[in-house]
Structure formats: structure tokens, C-alpha cells
A and B are shown apart, each in its own frame.
Chain A
Amino acid sequence: MPNHVERGTGPARRGLRDSEKQLAVVMIAPAVLYIVCMVGFPFILAVCYSLSDATTGDPSLHFVGLGNFKAILQDPVFRKSLGNTFIFTLISQTLVIILSQALALALTQEFRGKWLARFFILLPWTAPIALGTIGWLWMLDSIFSPFDWLLRAVGLLGSPQALLGPLSNLYWLGEPSLAMASVVLVHMWRILPLATVILLAGLTSIPHEILEAAEVDGAGFWRRHVQITVPLLRPIMSIAFLFGLVFTFTDMTVVYVLTRGGPVHSTQVLSSWAFFKGIEGGDLAQGAATAIFLFPLLAGVAALILRLARRTEIT
């Protein structure tokens, strides 16, 4: 790894310092300005909305204090959304961290048709998520689902004695628990390639000699994996986890396309509820207040993992 410690500054370079400082500021200014105007300002505006009674019809700001937060905290749909956001994110990301290790380890090996396998495995991440989710929507269709057809074909569904009941379909997106499982599955499906790709990069950076030495010393596959690979991968795993967390936690596309939060809000998440409330319902104030719950959680988690990653790098 390259050394980033400041090099000693000779007298010749000291003369350049002032102009370099100006250049640094000029080069960084457009990015900072853009972010202040297009992220910072709207963010503050969103906070203002959440403290007001603004609606689409009357978007002027009359401050009402924390009234919106009090109201949404008493709303059972909001509580359900808050819980679902955590449940969906944690379950899908736990599965991703476990499965991506297996997949990344497999992809470090050479085998026939590897490029094709890679292409297939990356598809959920490379394809626009709204379009990939539409594929799932058709696969989880209430009447024409191929899963239901398979279950009927093997006799698990659709006959009076069948294990999964006499109905001809499971109604994947109509049954609350199945709908929740479907959302988790699609989130996992989508993030798995990203986590795998990140872990793969970490794996290829581990020196072969260490693993070979351990193998010579008689360490088996699991011992090598748990005692050498995983500790060395920890910073990169945190990064993979961080990105997965962020993408899943803030995403509303999967829920919007798949279930629209239904049946009866059983798959509603914070961002989809904010969208339905603030956009389709026209209640800018409560929509903004709902969405603001996403931010501190994200910032906290991100700061934590960034610190973790940097500390591991130093030691």
C-alpha cells in the first residue's frame, strides 16, 4: 500500500504553497457549491417543511413546531414502516454478507465459463432496479407465478391434502408475511452482486503467501477462512455492508414496484410511506417529517463504519 505521509517540504516547494492553496480551493469550489445548493439547501428546506403545515395546495411555511413529529409517531402506519425498514434492511444485509463470502470465494477460482457466470451474477446490480423488480413482479404474480406452478406440479399446493393448502396459488404479494419475505428476497438479490464484487477485490488483495503458509502449517479451509481471510477482509466487508445498508435502507423502488406498501401497509417502509404521504397525499409537512427519520440513522451508521475502516487500516 502506498504511503500517504506528508513528504518533507523543501524551500523550493514552500514558495509554491500560496498559489497551490488557491488552486486547491478553485478546484474544489464547484463541487462544494453544487452540493450546498442542490443537497444542503433542499435538506434545510425539507427540515423547514417538517416543522410547518405545508401542503401541495398551500406550500407556504407556517411553523407548527414539532407537531408533525408528534402526529406521525402516533400513527400506526409510521411505526409499522419504521419497523419494516429495519427488518428488511437487517435481514437482507445479513444474508448478503454471508452469501457474498461464499460467492466471492468461488469467483476467485478459475473455471470454465467464468465470464458468463460473472455476467449473470452481476445482472441484478447492472440492470436498472425498477426493471429488474418488474421481472420479479411477474414471477410473483398472483395467478401465473412459476413458483406456484412448480409447487402445484409436485403436489405441494392446490389439492385438498396438499401441504401448502388447497388454494391454487400462494398469493406471494397478497399475503403479508409472504409479501415481506418477497421484498427481503428482492433486496438481497439486488445487493448480493455489489457485495460480492467488493469482497472479491478484498480477496485478491490478500497476499497468497499468507494463505499458503497457513496451509503448509496444516490449517484447513475453515480455519484459514475464519482466522486469516475474514480478519484481513474486515475493512472491506464493512464497506460492502455500509453500501448495502445505505441502498436498502433508503430504497423505495422495490416496495413501490412490487407491493406499493401493501397488503394493508404490511410492507410499507419509511421512504415509501414518505412518498405516498408527501407526494401522492400532498401532505408535504408530514411526508418530510417521515423521511427525516432516515437521515440520522444513516449518518450515524456511516460515520461508525467509516471510522472502523480507517482504524483497521492504520493498525
Chain B
Amino acid sequence: MGSLKKICERGTLYGIVTFFALFSAFPFYWMVIAMFKRDHDLFNPAANPFLFNEPATLDHLRVLFYDTHFLQYLWNTCLVGTAVVAITLLVSVPAAYSLARWSGRWGENLGIGIFLTYLVPPTLLFIPLSRMIGLFGLHESLGALILVYPTFTIPFCTWLLMGFFKSIPKDIEEQAMIDGCSRMGAMVKIIFPLSVSGILTVVVFAFTLSMHEFIYALAFISVSAKKTISIGVPTELVRGDVFRWGPLMAGALIASLPVAVIYTFFLDRFIAGFTMGAVKG
């Protein structure tokens, strides 16, 4: 009896996990197939779409890497992501520490206020921001994205870090200050080393968010060589109404996988930062 119940439980477990893994990963599996399929095979409604009915080909990859700006998009994305991460850290870490340590009533409200700005959607800010960017002379430049992306990374990352700093007992730095450290010294020497996982979470999150961003990039950048991955692939590989599905799928997959790997690697820290930042008002 006992073992039968156990088998049932394991069966249900594997069933649930397999179902969701297939559901989540299927579009990416579909990208892999399209990436290596010959056009003749890809565009044959009668052929079994799950199999290679003709030998695989690297043509789509060749088109992607030699005939498009794909590598340029990757480079632009990394550039924007890195700059946004740097700005976010410089602004968010001190703000979050301040809010976590000196939060009276207004500190609490200010923290929530900062977080709430995250809810102002890009579609609302796009029109005025594009005018402001024009005034700053940043039209059609990556600088526009670097300037604007912290509008969503700073509120979110400050919120995450605030929860993280709150979880570090005050006694630790108070002890250091009694031992003669200044507040700044205690912060840099004691608190930051203890916060490495929180800060890494923010780095990964800020980078991921700027890599994902679509609307601002679509609105501010129309020169092909300045595009980021998330708009370059969908807009440049579609000519008029003609979708170049092979290179399109290859580009989407190749751009997606590295982030996915980093994300999974940081998952546990990410969860810790996320929920503490979220549950602590």
C-alpha cells in the first residue's frame, strides 16, 4: 500500500513537472527546429513540422550573422545593460540603505512611493520622454535608452535592496561603530560585503530588465545599427510583410539563452532578494 501511494505521488510529481516544462520551453524548442530547417521543409504545410524531412542546414545562421546587424544588436544590448546596471547601483544602493536604516514613518512612505513609480507604464511616459530626449539631443542614440531605462530599474532595485538591507541586523554595524568605525566605514566595510548576494541580484535584474525592454527602444530608435536585441530581431528580420522565420527564430533563441542561463544561476539569490524586498513594506 505504502509503496503504491509513493509511486502515485512520484507519478503526479513527474507528470506536473513534465507538463509545465514542455509548456514553458516549447516555443524555444520550436525556435531550435526552425533555426536548422531548410526553407523548403519549413514552408511545407503537409510535412510533419516536428521532424527534419530534409537534411538540416546552417543557412539561417549564416544569414543572421553575416547579412544582418545581429552582432551589433548584441553589442548594443550589452552596452546599454552595463551602463544601466552601473547607474542603478550608484543610485539604488545608497537610497535603499538610507531607507532601510533611517525609516521612520515618512521613510516607509517614501520607499513605497519610489516603488509605486515602477507602476507608471512606459506607454504613459513615452510621449513626453521622447520630447525630452529630443531636447537633450539624444535622438537615435543608445544614450536615450541609458537615460530612460533607470526609470524602471531604480524603483525596483531600490525596493529589492531595501528589503535586503533590513534583513541584516542593525547590531552588526552598531558594534562596528562602537569599535570606532564611522557610519560610512561600517556601511562599506561591514554591510556591503554582507550584501553581495543582494547586490548581485540587482545587477542581474537590472541587466535583464534592460535587455527585455521593448516599448522605449521601439519608440526611440529606428536606425538599424543602434537597435537592441529585443527590437532589432523582430523589426529588422521582417521585411514588409515577409517574415524570415529561420533567421528570426535563430536570433530570438541565441539572444534568449545566455540571459536564461545567468538567471537560473542566480535564481536562489534572486528569490531571496525578491520576496524580502516585496514582503517588507
Contacts and interface: CB of A to CB of B under 8 A. Distances in A.
A91 interface: no
B30 interface: yes
A151 B231 CA distance: 33
B260 A122 contact: yes
Interface in A235-286: 235-236, 239, 243, 246, 250, 252-253, 256-257, 270-271, 274-275, 278-279, 284
B170 to A, nearest CB: 7
Given A139-B30, A239-B278, A291 B183 contact: no
A216 interface: no
B221 interface: no
A100 to B, nearest CB: 10
A125 B249 CA distance: 17
A89 to B, nearest CB: 13
Nearest to A311: B281
Sorting the interface of chain A by its residue count into under 10, 10 to 19, 20 to 34 or 35 or more gives 35 or more
Given A23-B183, A27-B94, A39-B125, A309 B279 contact: yes
A302 B119 contact: yes
A83 interface: no
Interface in B86-132: 90-92, 94-95, 97-99, 101-102, 110, 112, 114, 116-129, 131-132
A120 B263 CA distance: 12
Contacts of B229: 128, 131
A30 B214 contact: no
Contact of B43 (A30, A144, A270): A144
A31 B275 contact: no
Given A257-B234, A313-B279, A49 B128 contact: yes
B28 interface: yes
Contacts of A118: 264, 267
A288 B127 contact: yes
B4 interface: no
A208 interface: no
Residue of B16, B99, B148 with most partner-chain A CB within 10 A: B16
A130 interface: yes
A20 to B, nearest CB: 6
Interface in A23-75: 23-28, 30-32, 34-35, 38-43, 45-46, 49, 59
A181 interface: no
Nearest to A7: B170
A34 B154 contact: yes
Interface string A136-148: 1011000110100
B234 A20 contact: no
A126 B259 contact: yes
A202 B274 CA distance: 11
A197 B270 contact: yes
Interface string A91-111: 000000001001100110101
B229 to A, nearest CB: 6
A251 to B, nearest CB: 8
Interface in A184-224: 189, 192-193, 197-198, 200-202, 205
Contact of B16 (A7, A21, A102, A239): A102
A230 interface: no
Contacts of B65: none
Interface string B191-232: 000000000000000001001101100010000000001110
A90 interface: no
A128 B243 CA distance: 19
Interface in B218-273: 219, 229-231, 233-234, 243, 245, 248-249, 251-252, 255-256, 259-261, 263-264, 267, 270-272
Contact of B274 (A16, A28, A201): A201
Interface string A283-315: 010011001101100110011001001100100
A123 B279 contact: no
B58 to A, nearest CB: 19
Contacts of A107: 17
A34 B233 contact: no
A123 to B, nearest CB: 5
A38 B151 contact: yes
A266 to B, nearest CB: 20
A246 B119 contact: yes
Contact of A123 (B13, B215, B256, B278): B256
Given A27-B98, A28-B110, A239-B278, A16 B260 contact: no
Given A2-B169, A102-B16, A38 B147 contact: yes
A294 B123 contact: yes
Contacts of A278: 126-127
Contact of A146 (B50, B125, B151, B260): B50
B85 interface: no
A117 interface: yes
A173 to B, nearest CB: 13
A162 interface: no
Q: Which 8 pairs from chain A and chain B are nearest by CB?
A: A135-B27, A250-B121, A127-B256, A45-B128, A31-B95, A27-B94, A42-B128, A131-B252
Given A126-B260, A131-B252, A197-B271, 8 more contacts: A31-B95, A35-B117, A35-B154, A127-B260, A135-B27, A138-B248, A143-B45, A146-B30
10 contacts: A20-B183, A30-B90, A30-B91, A38-B151, A45-B131, A120-B25, A131-B233, A197-B271, A201-B271, A295-B119
